Structure 1
Amino acid sequence: MKRKDFIILLWISLATAFFFFFFFNQEMTLENFAITFLISAMYSFIIGVGNGVINEFLNKKFPWSEETKKRAILSIISIVIANFVLVYLCNYINFVIIQKVATTERFFGGDYNFRNWFMINIALLISAFLHAKSFMSELSKTSKKEVVEQKLIAKSANAQFESLKNQLDPHFLFNSLNVLSSLIDENPSQAQKFTASMSKIYRYVLEQKDKELVTIEDEIEFAKTYCGLLKTRFEDSVNFIFDVKEDYLRKFVVPLSLQLLLENCIKHNLATSSKPLLIRIFTEGDTLCIENNLQIREQIKESAGIGLSNIVQRYSLLTKKNVFIEKSEDYFKVKLPILSEKPNPASIDTKSQDKAYERAKKRVKEIKGFYGNLISYCTVIPFLIFVNLYTRNNYYWFWWPLLGWGVGVASHAFQVFGIGISWQEKKIQEIMDKQKK
């Protein structure tokens, strides 16, 4: 326990001592106040420190945020057993050792049962408050931690996404200038046309590179223009086939994905008029496919691997759907997932997270309700016992609310932490699963 906790226990001891000294003490002497203060301090520190140590031990071994159900059950069992032992210990020291108003046989014989039970309820109140406070504190810390973590994840995802998109601009420009450099030597007139077309295409690159997703229609139109540039350079050595269903044109893919894959086809394969390279762009299921016949070119310099890896990483930040790569002896195919809507890269699982949050919120509300019920029980019942005993009524009516409400608290605990709603949900799910078979 912290130093602050001991100071609080000291103030509680002092306040309790003043209360009993002025209302239940016949001789107002300094000696009597000192004795009252020592007895109050004994109760406060033994019960307070005992409960505090148990609470800290449970916090370390069974945190509320990780093992809520197990922690709640252990908390209930521990506070009942611990406070029973601690109260009997304090009362024994007080009445048998310090005040010497009872013998050991009389103390355990039943004469002090009501006093012990009254003190146990007071101790349960303090302990329940400590555990409820611990639960709310842990819940608050966990919530703040999760918010910070989600913000960091969002910032990291956005930074990573921006970094990936920024690769496209210099990458496209570098490859286009390589093509232009080759054309200047081979066909100067075609190089002029290529330069004009390249400026048009580069405008599209600048417009789209800041977007997370673009429509397949826009990407196909851009790819056709880019294929026109490649045809300018390779003429009959490269052929293109576009077979994209109209139903998919308004759906989405990552921008410049086709351009990067078309570059890869040209870069890694031989293309001659006698052995032309055939590139097909078509839809297959919920994927946009780019396929080419394999005519592998020997690479003098190792590839930087920007194209395909860039696409894979950008998709991973936007969706759980994977980019698939198929390779055989005859062809190489890349399947890009077609997305029906624009997701947020920092919150791919927003819907599932919202459902999980609602379930967690409902669970927290149930647990808070139980602890509210328990604290009320531990507050009101000792007060009723005190009133019943203080009025010296021979009829001990406090047993009725004590037992009746106690059964209600036990039933509430059983519902929240035992066979309750979660059991019903599991049985419903089991029945639904059986009906599906």
Structure 2
Amino acid sequence: MADKDKFFNKYYRAFVIPLGFLLYVFVSYIINPFSRYWEYVSRLSGGRQLVELFIALIISWMIAEISLATARWMDKWMPWERQPLKRSITQTIVVLVAVFIALNVLDYISMLLFPPPPEVQELFSKVDTWQFFVVCSLVSILISAVHTGNYFLKRWKNSMLEAAQLQLDAAQLKETAMQAQLQSLKLQLDPHFLFNNFSTLSALIEEDPALATSFLEKLSRVYRYMIANLNSDVISLNQELNFIAAYIFLIDIRHGSNVNISVNVSDANKDKGIPPITLQLLIENAIKHNIASAQQPLYITIYDEGDDLIVKNNIQLIQHTLPSTGLGLENIRKRYALLFEREVAVNDTQSAFQVRLPLVDF
């Protein structure tokens, strides 16, 4: 699209100047088809007629340049969006004054350099002179109108493209949000997840009823958070951390010291925004793909640096595991791109996997 605009702007004058010439001749003839100028031109030799044609082209070129320059200058100084009526009146007046001054200067210079013989001067009356100025003024207004029409046509085209892009972005955002919901529900309602948590709860009921009660309360909090935020685009980091605290409690009971999760976030950043369920997806991915044992504990650290939240874990990949689909991280990236036009930075080394999440004001 940009290449087309450059091509059009490059050859814009090739269209406008011939148009100005045709309008100049046509309007001159329509206004006064019996002008002595036409009789004068018809009596000239072929060479002189070409000279008259060249002069008319020069005049048309000058009118076109003045009209286009005035319109483009006013596009910056007085845009159409602010005061369209005032812009229209002002542009017309400025164009007419500029063309009038330019024509007088051109006429003065031509009289000095190429003074016509007395018999030619006698052919033209003051009416012919004013008719010439009127024609040039009309042509300048018409060229200015063509430029204005082209301007509004491009604005309409751009607005249509922007509207289409907004609709596409909205559709993509809706699809991504649905994917996040499905991914989240899949993680939480996965039979293995339910089986593991219910097995843990069942064992705790007999061994430590008080701890079992806390475990059940945290498990219900996790599900309430999931259900409450399925349709949310962004929440405060403080809300996400409160949810993660309950989620970490479940992981501690299930994995013990095999998985160590630490959170160190400044209060200044807790009021900033983050897409919901982001931290849970990253924690689940870390546990899913890495060994977590007494001999090889998994360390997950959540901390902030400036306006970014960082989730980092050591790498000790599980062998013979199914290849990662990357849906969780890709979902987070898409949501950041569509919601905030921000990028999620990933630093994957041999020893650590780090995800940098921008925090946003909302």
The answer to whether the superposition gives a TM-score over 0.5 is yes
Cα deviation per residue 1:143-197 (whole Å; 9 max; x = unaligned)?
3333333333333222222222222333223222322224556773359766653
Q: Which residue does the alignment assign to 1:362?
A: none
Give unpaired runs (5+ residues) of structure 1: 1-60, 343-437
Matches of 1:190 and 1:110, distance apart in 2: 115
Change (3 A) 1:112 1:233: farther
**SS at 2:283's partner residue?**
helix
- Report Cα offsets for 1:292-339 as digits up to 9, x if no partner: 111112353333322111111111112243211112221111010011
Q: Distance in 2 between matches of 1:272 and 1:128?
A: 83
In structure 2, distance between residues paired with 1:108 and 1:203: 100
* Contact 1:96/1:102, CA 8 A, preserved across alignment: no
The 2-side partners of 1:63 and 1:311 are apart by 36
2:223 paired with 1:223: no
Cross-structure match for 1:34: none
Matches within 5 A, 1:267-416: 267-298=288-319, 300-339=321-360, 341-342=361-362
Counterpart Cα distance in 2 of 1:236 and 1:166: 35
Aligned residue in 1 for 2:102 = none
* Cα distance in 2, alignment partners of residues 215 and 148 from structure 1: 35
Which ranges in structure 2 are unaligned for 5 or more consecutive residues? 46-116, 206-211
TM-score of the aligned structures, taking structure 2 as reference length: 0.64
Once the two structures are superposed, the pairs formed by residues 423-434 of structure 1 within 5 Å of their partners are none
Structure-1 separation of matches of 2:41 and 2:292: 108
Residue matched to 2:181:
169
- SS of the aligned residue for 1:179 comes to helix
* Corresponding residue of 1:122: 134
CA distance in 2: counterparts of 1:124 and 1:256, whole angstroms: 68
Q: How far, CA to CA, are the matches of 1:101 and 1:277 in structure 2?
A: 96
| 1:241 and 2:259 matched | no
| Structure 1 position 146 matched with structure 2 position 158 | yes
1:233 shift after superposition? 1.8
Gap change, CA 1:131 and 1:248, over 3 Å in 2 = same
CA distance in 1, matches of 2:19, 2:333: 54
Residue 350 of structure 2: SS of its match in structure 1? coil
Give the Cα–Cα distance (whole angstroms) in 1 for the partners of residues 317 and 159 of structure 2.
Answer: 50
Paired residues of 2:20 and 2:139 also in contact (CA < 8 A): no
3-state SS of paired residue (1:280): strand
Letter in 1 for 2:170: N
> Counterpart of 1:235 in 2: which secondary structure?
helix
**162, 187, 202: which is aligned to 1:188?**
202
Q: Give the conservation status (yes or no) of the 8 Å contact 1:270–1:296.
A: yes
Question: CA 1:161 to 1:195, structure 2 compared with 1: closer, same or farther past 3 Å?
Answer: farther
| Greater shift in the superposed pair: 234-243 or 293-302 | 293-302
1:126 counterpart SS class: helix
Once superposed, what is the RMSD of the aligned Cα atoms?
A: 4.1
| Percent identity of equivalent pairs | 23
* Counterpart residue identity of residue 134, structure 1: V
Would you say the 8 A contact 1:238–1:271 is kept in 2? yes
Distance in 2 between the 1:297 and 1:128 partners? 77
Residues 190 and 140 of structure 1, relative CA distance in 2, 3 Å threshold: farther
In 1, distance between residues paired with 2:357 and 2:298?
A: 21
Query: Contact 2:303/2:310 (CA < 8 Å) preserved in 1?
Result: yes
Equivalent residue of 1:148, what SS? helix
Aligned residue number for residue 167 of structure 2: 155
2:165 match: secondary structure: helix
State the one-letter code of the partner of 2:44: T
